[in-house]
């Protein structure tokens, strides 16, 4: 073996990509700007990713996987919809405070018509949402006529929208309290009743 791959560089590339996609959108985040910010040669990115599209897609995939994975594990441990939703929304807010760029990144790309989540991931999400619904109905927590879209809307989309609305300071405020976080969870739970 010769030199070892510098994991720090890959990490810096990922971080720079996330930041620049958030800041300038996919089309506005150029390879050269990413490489410059990461402190890495331009061509170096192509050792790990065959194209810009692949780089961003893979990053989106893994970021989404974090949320989907959390939901999946919650469904294995929690017995009520309230618990699942409170915990998941807690995780989203945690991302919002600890790694704000990452939740912004998901937010930006999930609304980009170029970046559909993969079919597999989508099916996975659909299955998990169905499970949330069936637990909720069994417990009498959810209206029995709730659709997957409605549940998805309140479990995933609404909290992400709330967090990003705050980050943008759309209504003036840019931070949130634990109370407000709980209110988001309560609101989502309530909407599905």
Partner DNA sequence: GGAATATGAATGAACAATCATTCATTTAAT
Partner DNA sequence: ATTAAATGAATGATTGTTCATTCATATTCC
Residue 148 interface partner, choices a copy of itself, DNA, none, CB cut-off 5-8 Å depending on type: a copy of itself
d(CA 125, CA 191): 20
Q: Does 54 bind a copy of itself (CB under 8 A)?
A: no
51 near a copy of itself, judged by CB under 8 A: no
Nearer to DNA, 47 or 193 (CB): 47
79 is in the binding site of which of a copy of itself, DNA, none (Cβ under 5 to 8 A by kind)?
A: none
Min. distance of Cβ 62 from DNA in angstroms?
A: 19
List the x/- string, 4-23, binding to DNA by CB under 7 A.
xxx--x--------------
Task: Name the segment binding a copy of itself (CB under 8 A); options: 54-62, 79-87, 90-98, 162-170.
Answer: 162-170
Residue among 13, 35, 71, 108 that touches a copy of itself (CB under 8 A): 108
Does residue 50 interact with DNA by CB under 7 A?
A: yes
């Amino acid at each position: 073996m010769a030199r070892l791959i510098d994991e720090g560089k890959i990490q810096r590339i990922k971080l720079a990509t996330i930041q620049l996609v958030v800041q300038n959108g996919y089309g506005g985040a150029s390879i050269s700007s990413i490489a410059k910010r990461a402190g890495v040669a331009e061509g170096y990115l192509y050792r790990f990713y065959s194209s810009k599209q692949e780089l961003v897609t893979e990053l989106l995939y893994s970021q989404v996987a974090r949320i989907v994975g959390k939901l999946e594990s919650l469904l294995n441990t929690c017995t009520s919809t309230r618990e699942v939703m409170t915990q998941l929304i807690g995780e989203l807010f945690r991302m919002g405070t600890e790694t704000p760029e990452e939740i912004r990144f998901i937010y930006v790309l999930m609304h980009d018509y170029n970046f559909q989540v993969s079919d597999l991931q989508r099916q996975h999400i659909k299955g998990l949402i169905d499970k949330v619904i069936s637990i909720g109905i069994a417990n009498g927590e959810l209206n029995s006529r709730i659709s997957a879209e409605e549940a998805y809307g309140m479990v995933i989309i609404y909290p992400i929208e709330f967090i990003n609305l705050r980050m943008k300071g759309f209504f003036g405020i840019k931070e949130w309290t634990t109370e407000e976080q709980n209110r988001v969870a309560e609101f989502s739970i309530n909407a599905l009743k």
